[in-house]
Structure 1
C-alpha cells in the first residue's frame, strides 16, 4: 500500500485537528502559545479554531493545521483477533462440551477507579453496542464486584469463586495509574496461584495499548470499542483450549 497523507479539505492536503490544554489563562497570548506549540509539533500553518477557559489558569484549545508527514500503512503493527467470534449459543455449547460446568468470570474496577461503565457494558445483561453482556450467557457465572476494589480483595474473591477468568476495567489513567494497577494485579495473582493455575487475566479501557499484554503480565488487553461478544469469545476460546479443570 502506498504512503498516505491526512485528509482535511481536499485529498492529501495534510490537514489535521489537534486538541490540548495549556496551563495558561485564556487570552490572545494563550492562543499564540497554542500556535507556537503546534508549530513545534510540525503543524505549519496552524490556526486556533477554538479556545475556552478550563478553570483558573488553564485553557483548552482546538488547533487546525497542515503537517507534512506521511503514513505508511504497511508498517503499522496491530494486535489482530486470533480467535473466532461466537454467538452466545455457540459459546454456551463450547463451554458445556469442554468444561462440563459453568465458566466463572469475576470482574471489577480496581484501585481508586470508580468508573463502572466499561465493566458493566461487558458483564451486565444489557450489554453494549447491541450485544448482550456475559450475564446473558447461560453457561457463564458472572461475579461483578463493582468499583474501587483493592487487588487483595480481587484475588481473594477470585480464589473463593474458583474464577476461570478475571476481567478488570481501568478508565482513570492519570500518572499511568491503569498500568501500575494492572502490573500490581498480575503480580498478586502470580503470587497467590500455583504456576499455570491462575485464571485468565483480561484488562480493558480506552487508553490501553492492546500490544502491552506481555509487558503488563496479562493474557489479553482490550481497548475502546470492545464488545461483550469479543470478550466472551476470547475467554471461551482460551478456556476450551486449556486442559479441563475438574469442578470441585
Structure 2
C-alpha cells in the first residue's frame, strides 16, 4: 500500500477535492467571492465555485471544486480496527451457549431528549439493517428495547432489573454535543451504581468517533454504517475476554504495627 496519498480527481495525485457549505450571505457575486476566499484559506487553491443556490433571503449554499497541496501519511492515521471475527447467527448462538449456559441480556435505548430510534431499532429489531437480522433474531440473546427519550436513571434501573450483560445506547441528536454529554452521564451513572459489576456499555451513532470510547467511559463506540452482525460479534468477543481474564488479586496490606513486630 502507498504510504503517502493525495486526493484524486482527474489524474493520480492532482489533489482535487469537492466540498459543500452554507454561508449566511445573500446569493450573488459577493457571496461567490466569499466562498472562494473561505476555500482558499482552507487550502483549496485555485478554488472554483461550481454551484451556488440561495437558501431563503439571507443564506447561500455552495459547492466548491479545487486543488489542495496536503498529503496524508497513512502511517499516522489512527482508527479502531475490528479485532474480532464476524460470526454467523448460528456461530454466535453456539458460542454464547457454551460460554454462559444462559441467554445474554441486552438492554437498548435512546437516552435524554433523543427521539430518533432508527439507529437502535436497526441493531435490535429482528428486521435488522443492511440485509442482516437484528439482535432479536439471535436465539441466545434476550433483547429489551426501551425505545426513545429514556432517562439515565431509568436506564440504570432497568439494566439492573433485567440483569443486563450489555447496554446499547444510540444517539443521533448532536446539537451542542448532546450525544457526548449524554454518554458521559450514562457511563458515570453506571460506574456509581454498579462499579466493576456494571454491564458492557456500548454507544453508537453517525457522529461518534470510535476512538472516543475511553474518553466517554464506555467499552465500545460504533459509528455510522454499523451492522447488527458487527455488534453481535463484539458481544461474543467481549464475553470471551471477560471469561478468560485472570482474576484480580487483592493487594496485600501490611500495617505499620505489623512491620514493627517483625
Does the TM-score normalized on the shorter chain lie above 0.5? yes
Equivalences for residues 135-214 of structure 1 within 5 A: 135-193=136-194, 195-214=195-214
Counterpart residue number, 2:68: 67
Q: Distance in 1 between matches of 2:161 and 2:178?
A: 27
Secondary structure of the corresponding residue to residue 45 of structure 1:
strand
Deviations 1:45-73 (A, max 9, x none): 11112222334422222111110011111
Alignment length, in residue pairs? 243
Aligned to 1:45: 46
Whole-angstrom CA distance in 2 between matches of 1:144 and 1:133: 12
- Please tell me whether residue 229 in structure 1 is matched to residue 203 in structure 2: no
Aligned-residue CA RMSD (Å): 1.4
TM-score, normalised with respect to structure 1? 0.94
Q: Which residue of 1 aligns with 2:255?
A: none
1:240 deviation in Å? 3.1
Per the alignment, residue 241 of structure 2 pairs with 241
- Post-superposition CA distance 1:120-142 (Å, at most 9, x none): 11111111111111000001011
Q: Which residue of 1 aligns with 2:254?
A: none
Q: Which runs of 4+ in 1 moved over 6 A?
A: none
1:183 positional shift = 0.5
Which residue number in structure 2 is paired with residue 76 of structure 1? 77
Deviation at 1:176, TM superposition (A): 1.1
For the pair shown, the structure with the greater C-alpha radius of gyration is: 2
**Inter-CA distance 25–149: structure 2 relative to 1 (3 Å threshold):** farther
Distance 1:158 1:112, change over 3 A: same
Q: What SS does the aligned partner of 1:44 have?
A: strand
Distance 1:56 1:161, change over 3 A: farther
> Alignment partner of 1:242: what SS?
helix
Secondary structure in structure 1 of the residue aligned to 2:211: helix
